[in-house]
């Protein structure tokens, strides 16, 4: 194995457990004889472009342990659409610092950038090992059973829906329609997770709407009124990317573009709340968890924490085995007794592509998820991660 330095970057939206992956890579790199120094790129692409690296090999044991219990991207992240010149500059910066091993923690857009870096290094004949390391609360990465970060976001949202049910059921004659909006872009994995509440309270009915299935405003208005008449209240979970029969975003008139040129989704629940109040005799309100659903370490999944750590370790081990231009992938071995193994997938097969919720897992008539989704998702939210407290509050630490 070639000797040189190791560089780690975090990209895209943070998660509650992304720093466990960072921790896993660092711990393995510290044990490797061929790694001279370990660096982190500050604020993702920004650090890669401007050669802004922070030393990670000097972190104390306590500093590393705090990483495991802290949400948000400890190295920082940045959304930016790269150009060909940017990629050449990034590789040139790595050559100057003798970076020989590069680990890019991110989602499908990040895997696209990682593949560009891999291809540019090959083009200029620079010996650089590039490994993509998955993370995504959206859970939309292809060729991995699930993405670290999803389990904790799913647990937080399902817990939130249970809390809302308990509140709504305690109020007599003053309830209304409550809409909760989840992230997820074009994939409905997060909205679908809210159906897991039926495992503990089968009589708590939650209407689920995902982007993979055509959304009808007329059917929606009818459904929420029917549920309200039967239950005395109605809770509906709406994925931000729902689309109509023409594949148009429901609230398209209010949608703008984000930093990488994609529709900046979000805000569909205020739009639907107004439709309910304009077209029915009922009152409505919306709950918008926003970034809270990806940052709540206090309601995180221990399975997710452990897998985020392990995927980092496995990524480094795959690099030692000579893999490059690949993403570390989680493969489910057994659906009855939850077990996983870690494999390697070419970045080109993952880059910029989306994995959607299978439509056969959705009950369109009742706006519910079916049993196969529960079987898939329930193991991912198991266990509670311990968060160290200080003065009654989480004792988070940054690098």
Our answer to whether residue 62 is catalytic in this structure is: no
Q: Using pLDDT thresholds of 50, 70 and 90, give the confidence band for residue 200.
A: very high
The one catalytic residue among 33, 62, 86, 138 = 138
- Read off the pLDDT of each residue in 215-220 and give the average, rounded to a whole number: 96
Bridge partners for 209 per DSSP: 238
What pLDDT sits at residue 1?
A: 76
What pLDDT sits at residue 377?
A: 97
Instruction: Tell the CATH topology of 4-148+300-353.
Output: Rossmann fold (3.40.50)
pLDDT higher at 252 or 97:
97
Q: Do domains 4-148+300-353 and 150-297 have the same CATH topology?
A: yes
Q: Using pLDDT thresholds of 50, 70 and 90, give the confidence band for residue 128.
A: very high
What pLDDT sits at residue 233?
A: 94
Residue 175 and residue 95: Cα distance in Å, rounded?
62
Could you give the angle at the alpha carbon of 111 between the alpha carbons of 108 and 114, nearest 5°?
A: 160
pTM of the model: 0.95
Per DSSP, 384 falls in state B
pLDDT higher at 221 or 397:
221
What pLDDT sits at residue 175?
A: 74
Instruction: Tell the CATH topology of 150-297.
Output: Rossmann fold (3.40.50)
Could you give the angle at the alpha carbon of 124 between the alpha carbons of 122 and 129, nearest 5°?
A: 40
Helix/strand/coil for 97: coil
What pLDDT sits at residue 399?
A: 73
Domain limits, the chain = 4-148+300-353, 150-297
pLDDT tens digit sequence for 289-315:
988 999 989 899 999 999 999 999 999
What pLDDT sits at residue 397?
A: 78
CA dist list (Å): 263 to 19, 245, 258, 259, 281: 28, 18, 6, 10, 33
What pLDDT sits at residue 248?
A: 87
pLDDT tens digit sequence for 241-295:
999 998 888 876 565 555 555 566 778 999 999 999 999 999 999 999 988 999 9
What pLDDT sits at residue 267?
A: 86
Q: Using pLDDT thresholds of 50, 70 and 90, give the confidence band for residue 370.
A: very high
Residue 21 and residue 312: Cα distance in Å, rounded?
4
Asked if 369 contacts 188 with a C-beta cutoff of 8 angstroms, the reply is no
Q: Using pLDDT thresholds of 50, 70 and 90, give the confidence band for residue 388.
A: confident
pLDDT tens digit sequence for 323-351:
999 999 999 987 678 999 999 999 999 99
What pLDDT sits at residue 146?
A: 98
What pLDDT sits at residue 261?
A: 55
Asked if 304 contacts 296 with a C-beta cutoff of 8 angstroms, the reply is no
Q: Using pLDDT thresholds of 50, 70 and 90, give the confidence band for residue 352.
A: confident
Query: Rounded to an integer, what is the distance from CA 376 to the centroid of its chain?
Result: 16
What pLDDT sits at residue 340?
A: 95
């Amino acid at each position: 194995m070639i000797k040189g330095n190791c560089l780690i970057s975090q990209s895209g939206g943070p998660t509650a457990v992304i720093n466990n992956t960072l921790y896993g890579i660092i711990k393995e790199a510290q044990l490797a004889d061929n790694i001279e120094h370990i660096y982190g790129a500050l604020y993702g692409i920004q650090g890669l472009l401007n050669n802004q690296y922070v030393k990670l090999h000097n972190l104390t044991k306590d500093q590393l342990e705090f990483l495991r219990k802290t949400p948000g991207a400890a190295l920082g992240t940045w959304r930016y659409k790269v150009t060909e010149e940017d990629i050449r500059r990034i590789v040139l910066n790595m050559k100057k610092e003798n970076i020989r091993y590069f680990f890019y923690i991110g989602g499908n857009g990040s895997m696209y950038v990682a593949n560009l870096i891999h291809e540019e290094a090959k083009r200029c004949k620079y010996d650089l090992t590039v490994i993509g390391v998955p993370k995504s609360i959206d859970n939309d990465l292809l060729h991995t059973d699930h993405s670290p970060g999803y389990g904790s976001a799913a647990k937080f949202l399902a817990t939130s829906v249970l809390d809302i049910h308990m509140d709504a059921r305690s109020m007599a004659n003053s309830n209304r329609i409550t809409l909760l909006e989840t992230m997820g872009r074009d994939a409905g994995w997060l909205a679908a997770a809210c159906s897991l509440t039926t495992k503990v309270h089968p009589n708590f009915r939650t209407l689920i709407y995902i982007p993979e299935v055509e959304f009808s405003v007329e059917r929606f208005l009818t459904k929420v009124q029917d549920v309200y008449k039967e239950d005395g209240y109605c809770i509906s979970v709406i994925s931000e990317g729902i689309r109509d029969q023409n594949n148009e975003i429901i609230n398209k008139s209010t949608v703008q573009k984000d930093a990488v040129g994609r529709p900046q989704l979000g805000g569909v629940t205020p739009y639907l709340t107004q439709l309910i109040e304009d077209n029915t005799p009922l009152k409505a309100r919306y709950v918008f968890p926003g970034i809270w659903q990806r940052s709540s370490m206090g309601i995180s999944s221990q399975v997710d924490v452990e897998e985020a750590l392990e995927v980092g370790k496995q990524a480094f081990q795959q690099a030692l085995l000579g893999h490059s231009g690949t993403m570390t992938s989680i493969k489910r071995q057994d659906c009855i007794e939850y077990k996983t193994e870690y494999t390697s997938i070419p970045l080109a097969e993952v880059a910029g592509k989306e994995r959607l919720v299978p439509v056969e897992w959705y009950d369109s008539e009742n706006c519910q998820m079916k049993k196969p989704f529960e079987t898939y998702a329930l193991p991912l939210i198991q266990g509670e991660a311990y968060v160290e407290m200080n003065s009654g509050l989480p004792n988070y630490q940054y690098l």
